[in-house]
Amino acid sequence: MSRIHDETSEFYKRALKRANDNLIKLLDDPNVKETDLTVAAAKIKVLEDEKKEKETIKLLERHNEEQDKKRAMLKRVLSIQLPEEDITTQESTIHGTKIRKHPELMKLQEDTWRIYLTFEKGMYPKIQVNGESINLLKYKSNGYTEDSSYEPFETFEEACNYNGIQFKNPTIKKSLQNIAKLQAESDKMKAKLEEYSEKCKKLNSYTLSSIGAIRQQQRHHYEYFH
């Protein structure tokens, strides 16, 4: 995937260079037609838009791959039957002897760099795998009068949402559509802010002009009566 991405980037880099060189050449031509300049500029715009879309797709694919890995790890740790007793050390690592009684947990530790477990109120609400913190239980507030506690997730989708993981990856097409909508809304907001800024400038100019006129009248009035 990386090699293909590099080749695609190189293709657009060369294509944009040729298109820009062509536009510069046309600008230096005293007999150039306006339509030729328009076509040349449009070609550059098309190439830039295509390049941007390809780069966006690559980022979306990478993001979805990361979400797939996080979702798989979440499913794995939630499926592990954790003991009722505390098997952690003071540093939250797992006791080397006690872990041998729990093959699933031991296999997870063998497959990863290092894991940490949080033991609290007789439960394991959190696990850290290779530096990534994962909530195994959801926080339950019992109000101000009682101690707070933890409870299991009702569904895997709830567990994903609680851990900030996509339950289902959107299609690339859908993601591009959402990005386009956000960009359109952003452009609208930017236009409104610019319009508002211009109105403020005009109002400020009018206000300063009015204050200047009033002060001028006050000065004439003062000089007239003195």
| Three-state SS annotation for 13-64 | HHHHHHHHHHHHHHHHCCCCCHHHHHHHHHHHHHHHHHHHHHHHHHHHHHHH
CA distance 150 to 142: 10
Q: Which residues contact 109 (CB under 8 A, 6 or more apart)?
A: 94, 99, 115
Asked whether residue 160 carries a pLDDT value surpassing 90, the answer given is yes
Mean pLDDT in residue range 162-188 = 87
Residue 149 is predicted with a pLDDT of 84
Mean pLDDT in residue range 24-50 = 90
**Residue 130's closest CA among 108, 117, 118, 115?**
115
Asked if residue 93 lies in contact with residue 108, where contact means CB atoms within 8 angstroms, the answer is no
- Quote the radius of gyration of the chain (alpha carbons, Å): 32
CA distance 134 to 159: 10
Write down the pTM of the prediction: 0.68
Mean pLDDT in residue range 98-119 = 89
CA distance 119 to 89: 10
Residue 172 is predicted with a pLDDT of 85
